[in-house]
Amino acid sequence: MGEKVSIILTSYNKPSYLQKAIESVVNQTHADWELFLMDDHSNEETSAVIQTYLHDTRIQYYNSFIQHSERMKTARYATLINHALSFITGDYVSYLTDDTIYHHERLSRMLQVFRNDPAAQAVYSMQKVVHINERGEEALHFYRQAPGVLNNAAFQVDHCSVMHRRELLEKVKLQYESYWDDHVMHWNHGDSIFWSRLNTFVPFMPINEVLDTTYKTPDSFQNANQCLPDVLIDGSFVKGTDQKVYVLDQDTRHPVGERWHSVYSGRTVIIPDPYLFQYQIGKSVHIPNYMLVKGPDQPDVFYIEGGRKRRIENQYAFHFYQFKRKDIFAVHQDELESVPDGQPISQGRSGLMINPPGRRLFLIGRELFLFLNGMFHPIDTKVAKRFFLHQKPIAISFRKIKQFPIGKPFRPLYDEIIKKLSIKID
Ligand code: UDP
Ligand code: MG
């Protein structure tokens, strides 16, 4: 039997890392491989990197040309992998993401294990995981171990640390009707779902050596996806891989000008493109909602909400709603005047709330709520943190809010999905 390895590399908008990933394949000590470079309609910078490698006849390139509106329909890399798997000619199969590098001896070391143990069908190795911060520097690293033979490799072994015999694929397809399950709910753990499919037939044999290094960048899907609710929170500053900043407002994202840099810098939420692209692009905003502003001529402070300015009636209301003076942004008088008036924000000492301001956190009973668009939404503390809602919650009793509806909770979407999966872990 031959020892040709089919490597499937999925790529999306990580030009510099992608280059390292490709180089890591080209520099393998074992030369009998084919690389399927599956690009998910990346930007020009990424395409330019890809072009420089296409002279190598061992590299097959495919571009999905996926439209943004279609991106959220499947777990994209699983869809791309399934496509590649129908063309492979290797005896072994191995997967690679665009932010991971194989160490030079990876293929040869893995093949050696298969050679020594003809019964082995799937192997996995240790992995170095490097976290990269916003400035592109290495923040920390750790090692994923290869502790032993795994009958339930899901959630333990990374996408890029496995090699399996090609024959296994047909068994998987026969039983499950596809190779990888590309259902969109598995976006964050499609590899684990596939490992559990492989595990219905074979165990994973360990290789006690680090054979790949993966880089977790701030916009990698897992990081960007952490603690993301299924509906994003209005008034948040958000950005995708193109780094353009938007403010969210009910299904629309409005471009935010450089002028507001001091406001959004350090509190822009990185959102995976497929999620972000579900929000249509609106007009660019003059003054983003949920900002505190003040003109030069009067002492009045206003809270912008729904495109209107709400005057904060007194100091008591200002403190009650946990507004902070440092968050007040100075605007021109004529600019302020061009914003239509909204309901003023007042607060009597009775504690009864009439027309409270939006995007404020409340502690009711022991639960955290976000008041938004006229409703109190239960919100997970991790979600609140992820969306830079750092305000000290306003403690009130249920009695005081009973006239308001309770809205849909903001909870981490993937935590819920994973809880429902019935996958065993060794
Ligand atoms: N990916 C893709 N299409 C997309 C987003 C991501 O094909 O729209 C690929 C990406 O190139 C990578 C894999 O999916 O190979 C996993 O993405 P990422 O590395 O961002 O996620 P994480 O490392 O956090 O799991
Ligand atoms: Mg990754």
The region of weakest confidence among 201-215, 357-371, 399-413 is 399-413
Does pTM top 0.85 for this prediction? no
- How far apart are the CA of 184 and the centre of ligand 2, in A? 17
Question: Ligand 1: which residue has its CA nearest to atom 7?
Answer: 77
**Average pLDDT over the chain, rounded to an integer:** 94
The arithmetic mean of pLDDT across residues 396-412, rounded, is 92
CB within 6 Å of ligand 1 — which residues?
10-12, 40, 71, 76-77, 80, 97-99, 220-223, 273-274
Region class of 288: left (phi > 0), else alpha (psi between -120 and 50), else beta: beta
The arithmetic mean of pLDDT across residues 251-258, rounded, is 94
- Tell me the ligand closest to 272's alpha carbon: 1
pLDDT tier, 375 (very low <50, low <70, confident <90, very high otherwise): very high
- How far apart are the CA of 29 and the centre of ligand 1, in A? 27
Q: Is the pLDDT of residue 360 over 80?
A: yes
3-class DSSP assignment, residue 199: helix
Q: Is the pLDDT of residue 74 over 80?
A: yes
Contacts of 423 (CB under 8 A, 6+ apart): 152, 154, 155, 192, 193, 196
pLDDT of res. 1: 65
Q: Is 219 a catalytic residue?
A: no
pLDDT tier, 35 (very low <50, low <70, confident <90, very high otherwise): very high
Domains of the chain by range and CATH? 5-223 (3.90.550.10), 230-281 (no CATH)
Q: Please give the full DSSP string across 56-86, using - where no structure is assigned.
A: STTEEEEE----GGGGGGB-HHHHHHHHHHT
The more confidently predicted of residues 242 and 129 is 129
- How far apart are the CA of 270 and the centre of ligand 1, in A? 14
